[in-house]
């Protein structure tokens, strides 16, 4: 099936020499974000601009001595090769797994709706795990040449940038993106004019411009209300991600769901499958129903048609964490858009029917539950790990008539695996991570992990670890200089974070259930472990708390205070402004990935997958993906505690902290510091190899998309999705 094509208007007005005009199409395609040669090429054009912005549009907008570059044969040859590789990628796609197995089975593209997308740090329209997952899924759909189109919102102020002050308080600052300097283009309508869609709201029309981010072969549409067509009070609707105000949030989700449907229709794109990633986009189900009723379809039949080709991914384990709105607010805001009596030919979907379909597990008629609405109007629904499926089925029992299946999350390996490790995989596993579904066939490649020599694996890891240490020291230096620390303190940072010390990483959203401070339960014991002169440990934290989450911000303040205390100073560090770039350094460079959620509240988690694929060893509670990813006592990592949970949270915390200390003292530290004659920790590298082998396919977003295709997309079209040549099998199959 041909990829989806979205017409766009010209972007930034920078000028390029005719021989280098191909750089423009490369800069406006996020393929560069996971292709190391293209990133190196833009850095070569202007290293200072690249290091500052990490954005090719900004690089090409700078004053550049093109004549000097054109006189450099090495640069011109590299540019020619990178562009040839990119053009070949964009023109290819035949013979990949989806094309081989199900090429014409869907009959149309998959429309993927999500409230946030994390493609790269230069495009800050994401907050965390949900957006990173969406970005990884889109990238893998491109690599697999699947017919995809994404839909989201364009947040001109994005998500907040975090700073931590000298007292450990989290401070919030929202950026103001200049769209002319981002890799995003305005979408053109069939007449070649800028495409704008409209929605009927109380007393006025709301308009949204449509933009496109091209992610390899996949276009992703973004809706933007900050345009002159709108009233001043409506322009900020899409300004910020996850605003606190409920009425503003409802407007956002109407734009995402209903506006996204109208944007696809205006472009003549007719999806065969509608995939809702979390319930924020649930109004797309109502909008599609309204459209069918307007065409003369009876209301109940319209609901059934919408249900038949919609699939839904649920992420939050508990009902209280799902999106809800007061019914009266929905009547007020969405009424003019949808209300009608639902009779054939009258157009309209009675808002009371919508509210009835959206009653949550408590049956409360005074609220609209976006997850409940999505469950009742989709043909299938999935949780994001096997354990989460158990939790979700218990939580949502009686809402809808379907069992929630498990499609465990995965990550886009080319984005997250460091180049030294990627080079090893190419050399010894004979696999290129961005072509796992290409025609050459790569079944069971993970079994070849044993071929990697211990010394080379350790050397690659140490290189990635050194890169993390250099990056972290620079970050800390800027952070402490802003706090007004003395030159002597800043000088100390040159010698902290030794690449030789066992390094633990903890990076995620600072919600209280994630228990970031669990490792500090017994200060005397952890201090003794960290400051052991023969076998030292250092811990690097990173993460944000939502601006409305005061308890989460308190956790950040507590850990910051500990990091500056006499007991832990120089052994514990917290990096501010956690984003994709910080995450890459951390998952590639630490030795141990620590995760301590209160089971079973972690739906999946993907940071541990990224770390594991880099040979980092997980030390985690058996929650989310690790409950199925851990392969036992002598395998790919360590499990904190067991699978039983104590309803007494304090008792559970004490038990988990004691087991964490036991593992560190008796297993983790001795194994890491046990070296052979060449200085390589052979027992540790065996653990690293198990980590890689158990993760590199099984928890990849390629595997995830295989399962979405065969367990959800194809059945929604009435096609048998049983695995035939469904790519590499599960490692546990042999």
pLDDT tens digits for range 582-611: 999 999 999 999 999 999 999 999 999 999
Residue 441 is predicted with a pLDDT of: 47
- Mean pLDDT for the chain? 93
Is 80 exceeded by the pLDDT of residue 143?
yes
Is 50 exceeded by the pLDDT of residue 726?
no
Domain ends where: 406, 431, 462?
406
Residue 678 lies in a domain: yes
Q: At what angle do helices 129-143 and 701-708 cross, to 10 degrees?
A: 80
Let me know whether 562 and 663 are in one domain.
yes
Residue 407 is predicted with a pLDDT of: 98
C-alpha dist (Å) from residue 139 to 31, 109, 414:
8, 15, 9
The predicted-structure confidence for 514-547, as pLDDT tens digits, reads as follows 999 999 999 999 999 999 999 999 999 999 999 9
Let me know whether 603 and 520 are in one domain.
yes
**Residue 402: pLDDT band by 50, 70, 90 thresholds?**
confident
Residue 10 lies in a domain: no
Residue 117 is predicted with a pLDDT of: 98
Q: For residue 341, what are the contacts with CB-CB under 8 A and spacing of at least 6? A: 348, 350
Residue 629 is predicted with a pLDDT of: 97
Per-position b or e across 677-686, b if 16+ CB within 10 A of its CB: eeebbeebbb
Residue 429 lies in a domain: no
Q: Are 261 and 208 in contact (CB under 8 A)?
A: no
- CATH number, domain containing residue 535: 3.40.50.2000
Average pLDDT for 710-715: 96
Is 70 exceeded by the pLDDT of residue 325?
yes
Let me know whether 394 and 459 are in one domain.
no
Residue 103 lies in a domain: no
Let me know whether 492 and 600 are in one domain.
yes
Closest CA to 133 of 150, 155, 118: 118
Residue 329 is predicted with a pLDDT of: 97
pTM (predicted TM-score): 0.95
Residue 721 lies in a domain: no
Residue 323 lies in a domain: yes
Burial class (CB in 10 A: 0-12, 13-18, 19+), 559: buried
Let me know whether 394 and 458 are in one domain.
no
Average pLDDT for 403-417: 97
Residue 348 is predicted with a pLDDT of: 84
Lowest mean pLDDT among 468-477, 692-701, 712-721: 712-721
The predicted-structure confidence for 438-477, as pLDDT tens digits, reads as follows 544 457 899 999 999 999 999 999 999 999 999 999 999 9
CA atoms of 253 and 659, how far apart (whole Å): 43
**Residue 347: pLDDT band by 50, 70, 90 thresholds?**
low
Domain range for 283 is 108-406
Let me know whether 386 and 463 are in one domain.
no
Is 50 exceeded by the pLDDT of residue 283?
yes
**Percent with pLDDT over 70 in the chain:** 96
CA atoms of 89 and 99, how far apart (whole Å): 15
Is 60 exceeded by the pLDDT of residue 391?
yes
The predicted-structure confidence for 58-108, as pLDDT tens digits, reads as follows 999 999 999 999 999 999 999 999 999 999 999 977 878 888 888 889 989
First to last CA, the chain: 33
Let me know whether 492 and 554 are in one domain.
yes
Is 90 exceeded by the pLDDT of residue 387?
yes
Q: How many domains does the chain have?
A: 2
Let me know whether 397 and 463 are in one domain.
no
Let me know whether 351 and 257 are in one domain.
yes
Q: How many CB atoms lie within 10 A of CB 434?
A: 23
Is 90 exceeded by the pLDDT of residue 436?
no
Residue 130 lies in a domain: yes
Domain ends where: 406, 439, 463?
406
Residue 60 lies in a domain: no
Beta strand segments in 622-685, E: 637-640
**Residue 338: pLDDT band by 50, 70, 90 thresholds?**
confident
Average pLDDT for 265-280: 97
Let me know whether 336 and 463 are in one domain.
no
**Residue 187: pLDDT band by 50, 70, 90 thresholds?**
very high
Let me know whether 526 and 595 are in one domain.
yes
Let me know whether 483 and 395 are in one domain.
no
How do 502-507 and 572-575 pair as beta strands? Answer: unpaired
Is 80 exceeded by the pLDDT of residue 734?
no
**Percent with pLDDT over 90 in the chain:** 87
The predicted-structure confidence for 291-306, as pLDDT tens digits, reads as follows 999 999 999 999 999 9
Average pLDDT for 685-711: 96
Residue 345 is predicted with a pLDDT of: 45
Per-position b or e across 322-356, b if 16+ CB within 10 A of its CB: bbbbebeebbebbeebbbbebeeeebbbbbebbbe
């Amino acid at each position: 099936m041909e990829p989806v094509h979205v017409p766009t208007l010209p972007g930034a007005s920078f000028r390029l020499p005719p021989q280098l005009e191909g750089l423009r199409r490369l800069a406006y395609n996020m393929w560069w974000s996971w292709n190391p040669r293209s990133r190196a090429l833009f850095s070569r054009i202007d290293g200072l601009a690249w290091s500052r912005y990490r954005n090719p549009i900004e690089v090409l907008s700078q004053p550049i001595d093109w004549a000097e570059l054109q006189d450099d044969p090495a640069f011109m040859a590299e540019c020619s090769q990178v562009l040839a590789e990119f053009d070949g990628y964009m023109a290819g796609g035949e013979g990949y797994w989806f094309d081989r197995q199900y090429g014409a089975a869907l009959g149309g593209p998959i429309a993927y709706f999500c409230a946030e997308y994390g493609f790269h740090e230069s495009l800050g329209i994401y907050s965390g795990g949900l957006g990173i997952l969406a970005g990884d899924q889109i990238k893998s759909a491109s690599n697999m040449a699947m017919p995809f189109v994404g839909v989201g919102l364009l947040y001109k102020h994005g998500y907040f940038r975090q700073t931590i002050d000298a007292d450990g308080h989290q401070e919030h600052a929202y950026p103001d993106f200049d769209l002319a300097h981002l890799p995003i283009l305005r979408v053109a309508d069939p007449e070649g004019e800028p495409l704008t869609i409209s929605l009927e709201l109380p007393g006025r029309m709301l308009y949204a411009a449509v933009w496109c981010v091209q992610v390899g072969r996949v276009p992703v549409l973004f809706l933007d209300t900050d345009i002159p067509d709108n009233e001043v009070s409506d322009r900020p609707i899409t300004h910020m991600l996850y605003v606190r105000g409920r009425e503003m949030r409802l407007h956002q989700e109407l734009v995402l769901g209903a506006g996204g449907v109208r944007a696809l229709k205006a472009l003549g794109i007719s999806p065969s499958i509608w995939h809702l990633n979390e319930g924020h986009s649930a109004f797309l189900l109502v909008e599609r129903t309204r459209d069918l009723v307007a065409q003369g379809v009876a209301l109940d039949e319209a609901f059934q048609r919408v249900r038949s080709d919609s699939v839904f991914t649920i992420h939050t384990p508990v009902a209280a964490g799902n999106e809800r709105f007061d019914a009266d607010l929905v009547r007020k805001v969405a009424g003019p858009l949808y209300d009608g009596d639902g009779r054939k030919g009258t157009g309209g979907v009675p808002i009371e029917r919508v509210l009835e379909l959206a009653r949550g597990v408590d049956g409360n008629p005074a609220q609209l539950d976006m997850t409940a609405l999505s469950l009742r109007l989709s043909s299938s629904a999935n949780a994001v790990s096997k354990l989460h499926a158990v939790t979700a089925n218990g939580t949502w029992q009686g809402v809808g008539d379907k069992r929630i299946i498990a499609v465990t999350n995965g990550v886009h390996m080319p984005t997250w695996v460091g180049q030294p490790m990627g080079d090893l995989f190419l050399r010894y596993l004979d696999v290129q991570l961005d072509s796992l579904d290409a025609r050459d066939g790569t079944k069971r490649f993970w079994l070849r992990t044993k071929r990697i020599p211990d010394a080379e694996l350790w050397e690659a890891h140490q290189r990635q670890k050194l890169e993390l240490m250099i990056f972290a020291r620079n970050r800390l230096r800027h952070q402490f200089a802003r706090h007004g620390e003395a030159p002597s303190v800043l000088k100390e940072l040159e010698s902290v974070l030794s690449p030789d010390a066992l390094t633990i990483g903890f990076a995620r959203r600072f919600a209280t259930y994630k228990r970031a401070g669990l490792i500090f339960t017994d200060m005397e014991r952890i201090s003794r472990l960290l400051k052991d002169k023969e076998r030292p440990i250092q811990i690097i934290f990173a993460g944000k708390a939502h601006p409305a989450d005061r308890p989460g911000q308190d956790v950040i303040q507590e850990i910051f205070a500990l990091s500056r205390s006499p007991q832990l100073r120089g052994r514990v560090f917290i990096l501010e402004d956690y984003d994709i770039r910080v995450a890459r350094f951390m998952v590639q460079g630490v030795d141990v990935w620590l995760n301590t959620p209160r089971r079973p509240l972690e739906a999946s988690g993907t940071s541990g997958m990224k770390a594991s694929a880099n040979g980092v060893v997980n030390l985690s509670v058996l929650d989310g993906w690790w409950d199925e990813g851990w392969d036992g006592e002598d395998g790919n990592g360590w499990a904190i505690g067991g699978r039983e949970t104590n309803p007494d949270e304090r008792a559970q915390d004490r038990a988990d902290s004691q087991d964490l200390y036991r593992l560190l003292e008796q297993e983790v530290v001795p194994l890491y510091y046990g070296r052979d004659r060449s200085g390589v920790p052979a027992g540790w590298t065996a653990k690293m190899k198990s980590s890689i082998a158990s993760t590199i396919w099984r928890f990849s977003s390629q595997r995830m998309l295989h399962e979405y295709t065969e367990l959800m997309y194809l059945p929604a079209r009435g096609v048998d999705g049983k695995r035939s040549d469904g790519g590499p099998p599960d490692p546990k199959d042999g």
